[in-house]
Amino acid sequence: MNDRRTFLRGFLSVLLSGGAIGGILKVLPSKAYAKETLHEGKWYGFGVSVDKCIGCARCMEACKTENNVPRQPFFFRTWVERYVIRKNGDTTVKTIEPNAEQLPEAATDRAILRSFFVPKLCNQCAKPPCVQVCPVGATFQTKDGVVLVNEKTCIGCRYCIQACPYGARYLHPVTRTADKCTFCYHRISHGLLPACVEVCPTQARVFGDLNAAASPMSRFQRMNKIHVLKPGLNTEPKVYYANLDGEVR
């Protein structure tokens, strides 16, 4: 009699606790892996056609002018990298310099397999690692999906610069706060295009609302094979690349 009672009690408690643990496990992943695909209102995205970029650096110039980025060649909100892939597998990546004499030194170099330009900027990740690490809540995501820095509260600790897997942030030497691409927030909120998209001579850069039914951006997404940078990091970038080479990181 007594044995049966202990057995039943033990059995029931195991059943209940198992159910509770199972319930927790069932709830947790569904929250962690649910992709936020639906966003009300505007949800901005950016498209880059790699095979249209001619490496003229107009975008880098325009960005520095529009956003008062320091003129020194190592502060960028957007930049263009030149990839040179050699037959022996070596890949060299160099940020091009505006107004620099671009010598066709590679024209006769038979060791070069292929070379091309890749425009880069902040990926405005849907899950931004830079926002997570900010100790004072100075960097945040707006409701239209743009990651901004509140320069009034930023303490310049550079955690976000370290955390960004794309190297998209820098410490502004004057304000001593973190600075980054804002998709030209002051322009897009007034119905203008970001400065780099405005000046791009070959339409290699496309900008728009990802929720819009018909826009250059949604057409870009519909008509191209799309890739994002470092998809394995699960940051869900909103800068989409068409015709991206596998060597590009």
Residues that bind another protein (CB under 8 A): 51-58, 62, 65-67, 82-84, 99, 102, 104, 106-107, 110, 112, 115-117, 137, 140, 142, 148-153, 182, 185-187, 189-190, 192-193, 195, 198-203
Residue type, 145: G
Q: At its nearest, how many Å lie between another protein and the CB of residue 19?
A: 38
Nearer to another protein among residue 83 and residue 240 (C-beta): 83
Nearer to another protein among residue 53 and residue 217 (C-beta): 53
Most distant CA pair in the chain, distance: 95
How many residues in total does the chain contain? 249
Nearer to another protein among residue 197 and residue 210 (C-beta): 197
C-alpha span between 201 and 13 (Å, rounded)? 70
Q: At its nearest, how many Å lie between another protein and the CB of residue 139?
A: 9
Nearer to another protein among residue 112 and residue 133 (C-beta): 112
C-alpha span between 24 and 243 (Å, rounded)? 42
Q: At its nearest, how many Å lie between another protein and the CB of residue 79?
A: 15
C-alpha span between 43 and 207 (Å, rounded)? 11
Q: At its nearest, how many Å lie between another protein and the CB of residue 14?
A: 44
Q: At its nearest, how many Å lie between another protein and the CB of residue 166?
A: 21
Nearer to another protein among residue 15 and residue 136 (C-beta): 136
Closest CA to 149 of 136, 167, 162: 136
Residue 212 burial (CB count, 10 A): 14
Cα angle: 181, vertex 45, 195; to 5 degrees = 45
